[in-house]
Amino acid sequence: MSLLPTAELHLHIEGTLEPELILALAERNGIELPYANLEDLRAQYQFTDLQSFLNLYYENMAVLQTEQDFADMTRAYLRRAAAAGVRHAEVMMDPQAHLSRGITLETCVNGVASALATSEEQFGVSTELIAAFLRDEPAEEALAVLENLLAMDAPIIGIGLDSAEVGNPPRDFVALYERAHAAGLKCIAHAGEEGPPEYIREALDLLKVARIDHGIRCLEDENLVERLVEDQTPLTVCPLSNVRLRTVDTLTDHPLPQMLERGLNVSVNSDDPAYFGGYMDENFNQLQGTFAFDANQLAQLARNSVRSAFITDARRRELL
């Protein structure tokens, strides 16, 4: 299958840390990992739900110590994304996951941002950076980190909300999002991945987000679906992620075809590709193998990603 030119809108840069790079950075930084070798590490990648993945995801971040580490991880993603047909990437990072380990905001932000800055020239992939906040940590902490990002004039275009969803509803983060809106930042949030449709409503009504990350559980609420169709709210769906985190049983059971059919503005994204079995191209390949989408459906998915991106109309025209 030929590669579709796409925008990747739902991507956690820490989720692109491949096992080989984890071991190389551990070696470079003299960090002891609880795994003897690559095979041992790879054996950990069997998840039962979101939390079981997050445990390993946060643990593996221990190897990220210097700006160079963050830049190397980011550059590896951009190279791979370009090979997967991605032409524009909006990259989330989790500053709190690094601050809590004693890594400064400057180290993690500048490291990621330095690789993003050369991406268009190096890989033909335009980029934006989004700071995501951990919903299973106190909202006051998130707000303090946002203030620090603003004070250092961090090159972020927006904010997101991620980590363990159930029990950590959007309504707890109203002050954070009010601050972000006032600062002119774009606002997105994970909702309806493991959490109920009500969380999608809260993200829209209380946080006033422009996009929903995942959103697949909207299908349980007919009124919500109608609203999302009417407003053409972008839903950044991650098929391989949903399978690996057992949100759906198998790819065959994934609601993406149904979502497309209903006229929802859905795009395909890789989420944490080093953990979930594939980058953008592999997501499309497996969707194609499972659902045999026709050219129109494939083009619609690619077009949805471009029209939902935080880019200028000029760049949008280049990509459409």
Summarize the annotated binding site for substrate as residue ranges: 272
Residue 15 binding partner per list ligand ES4, Zn ion, none, with a CB distance cut-off of 5 to 8 Å that depends on partner kind:
ligand ES4
- Using CB under 6 A as the binding criterion, the count of chain residues that bind ligand ES4 stands at 11
Query: Does 15 interact with ligand ES4 (rule: CB under 6 A)?
Result: yes
Q: How far apart are CA 13 and CA 129, in angstroms?
A: 10
Selected from 176, 272, 301, 305, the binder of ligand ES4 by CB under 6 A is 272
Selected from 67, 69, 202, 271, the binder of ligand ES4 by CB under 6 A is 271
C-beta of 15: minimal distance to ligand ES4 in Å?
Answer: 5
Q: How does 190-214 read in b/e, with b if 16+ C-beta sit within 10 Å? A: bbbbbbbbbbbbbbbebbebebbbb
Given the residues 193, 198, 222, 230, the one annotated as active site: 193
Which string of x and - marks every residue 61-80 that binds ligand ES4 (by CB under 6 A)? --------------------
Query: Does 90 interact with ligand ES4 (rule: CB under 6 A)?
Result: no
Q: Please, which residue, 116 or 134, has the CB nearer to ligand ES4?
A: 134
Selected from 69, 90, 128, 162, the binder of ligand ES4 by CB under 6 A is 162
DSSP letter for each residue of 209-253: -SEEEE-GGGGG-HHHHHHHHHHT-EEEE-HHHHHHTTSSSSGGG
Residue whose pair of structure tokens reads 């039962």 in the numeric block: 48
Q: Which residue is nearest to Zn ion (CB)?
A: 271
**Of the candidates 124, 130, 128, 153, the residue with the CA atom closest to the CA atom of residue 311:** 128
**Is 193 assigned a catalytic role?**
yes
- List alpha helices for 65-212, DSSP H: 67-83, 95-99, 105-117, 119-123, 139-151, 174-182, 197-205
Q: Which residues are catalytic?
A: 193
